[in-house]
Amino acid sequence: MSSTKDQAEQQAELYRIFSNATRLQILWALAEGELSVGELAEAAETSLQNTSQHLHLMLDRGLLTSRREGQTIYYRIADWDAIQACLFGTERLNK
């Protein structure tokens, strides 16, 4: 069982991931379904390289998963519980 300090650090790390506007745009797009890197770059209005960097960070943290189809890599949400926390914040802004 992890200590309260460990849990707080894990939560803070998750919030750091959500504290970036580009990553939020990527997550909002993926909430609608699986997308390619190019589609995500377009949705986030940023470069493919920048999008890939953000995707790798979220993959490393277990928030996303990916699959390859030919030369195209598709991403989807792997941890819906964490993403729901992010999306809840968005819903609060729209009230």
Q: What are the tens digits of pLDDT across the range 6-57?
A: 888 888 888 888 889 999 999 989 999 999 999 999 999 999 999 999 999 9
Say if residues 23 and 38 touch (Cβ distance below 8 Å): no
CATH architecture type of domain 7-93? Orthogonal Bundle (1.10)
| Stretch 66-85: mean pLDDT | 89
pLDDT at residue 79 in the model: 85
Residue 92, pLDDT > 60, answer no
- pTM check: above 0.85: no
Predicted confidence band of residue 87 (pLDDT cuts 50, 70, 90): low
d(CA 86, CA 81): 9
